A and B are shown apart, each in its own frame.
Chain A
């Protein structure tokens, strides 16, 4: 039984209702998000797909309680995003690895766990479980290395495991593979799926890559730009666990074509 099988029946974990966000900077006003409605169920893997400037990263931050919405409402497990953030319910994977250069890989993996220890509801993973994840992404030999000794791909693996090690039920990923080369990026997608399948986490993943969204997701939310709004929602009906061969299948290409079409429609609207 995989997380995908559950997604239909599982209760809503994240509810975004009528969310709007406007930034005003030096007199110019930008409407980043308008009337966003999205529901994410427990255990689901949902991607926000859209061109740059469509507000997908802003939406991720609104969900994570890092940016407040101007209009509408976000509820996380029935509560406020800020409260969820205070309770350490989110594991963030930023676009850059964001590792502390003076800490070893091991030290970096523990960073999120060791701050805000007062009354968090999330339980960090057991050391054994973390060791398993470290092993799974091939970092076992690098626990005592410093970030500057690692390649970009290895650094991003540390960033992934760091988020999973927190044991948070919701993982927020902001184009974590965008800065990697194509070969490494492809490898990282399947590593992420492997990590995800070992945990029961819910993932919200921001990307501008159609293929990435199809490979990873249960559902893809297509966002159109200026203002950022939901253009379409596509359910990805590919069997799990997914391996690289999935990219050769006709279903995969079917989804890619449909999403490309939706993106184009959203862009011209």
Chain B
């Protein structure tokens, strides 16, 4: 028997890959300390300055309030999460189709880019009422608004990603007369993945904004945006902050999910070696 050295294993060790519970703890500890620190500071400030609840409730009161009526928040969170997810998916799908066409046609790209920039810089809140007039009350305008705000970052990043192919690799495939579809599938799409994930991180926050905003205009009676609106109308500071906490939690969970997916999908990508 001779000792067989697996070169991949050797390189893995050289890169300092660690395993076991200590590594996980070291990875989780700083963010937990950061969030807990903020809550403690908040709590202390509310106590120390004796801030009234309608101005800023203490985190302990908000958490107690959340615990007192979990089903209310669970139901509304489910609604908003569904809207945000659908809008996110629609925005991604539409951007993928548009970016595919744009990556293959300079004229279309140059014609569509200024429109995308206009969509990006025009505050959605200004024309959201018009979207409601076109699509009527209910889920449809919420999805349209959410998809639209997600569409723009996906479009910009996918167009950049599809074009980020190394010229030498492109020429290599052209040297064997690979067709556009083969180049798109084998080269452009994988190259766009890191850009797609960057866009997804941005779009998570935008999708939640879109869903909450949509609920405000679409005259619905469910969702965290609705809960916020109701809190404002009936002067319920704990419900306002409770909804905000749940929204923040949803966003954070979505970001962690995307990061996990990214690390699984992009083990090869150099930006992954030092990430998090």
Contacts and interface: CB of A to CB of B under 8 A. Distances in A.
Interface in A105-159: 111-112, 115-116, 120, 141-142, 144-149
B39 interface: no
A94 interface: yes
B7 interface: yes
Contact of A92 (B6, B11, B172, B268): B172
A39 B176 CA distance: 22
A101 B175 contact: no
Interface stretch (B22-30, B73-81, B101-109, B177-185): B177-185
A142 B268 CA distance: 15
Nearest to B267: A146
B169 A102 contact: no
Contacts of A90: 175-176
A98 interface: yes
Given A92-B171, A141-B7, A145-B11, A112 B270 contact: no
B166 interface: yes
B169 A166 contact: no
Interface residues of A, number: 32
B190 interface: yes
B177 A101 contact: no
Nearest to B266: A102
B168 A149 contact: no
B33 to A, nearest CB: 32
Interface string A80-96: 00000110101110111
Given A64-B175, A144-B8, A94 B168 contact: yes
Contacts of A116: 176-179, 182
Given A96-B168, A111-B186, A141-B7, A146 B268 contact: yes
B174 interface: yes
Nearest to B190: A102
Contacts of A265: none
Contacts of A88: 176-177
Contacts of B172: 92, 94, 98, 111-112
Interface string A38-65: 0000000000000000000000000010
Contacts of A148: 268, 270, 273
A52 to B, nearest CB: 17
A100 interface: yes
Closest 8 CB pairs of A and B: A92-B175, A115-B178, A98-B168, A94-B168, A102-B268, A98-B169, A86-B177, A149-B11
Interface of B: 5-8, 11, 166, 168-169, 171-179, 182, 186-187, 190, 266-270, 273
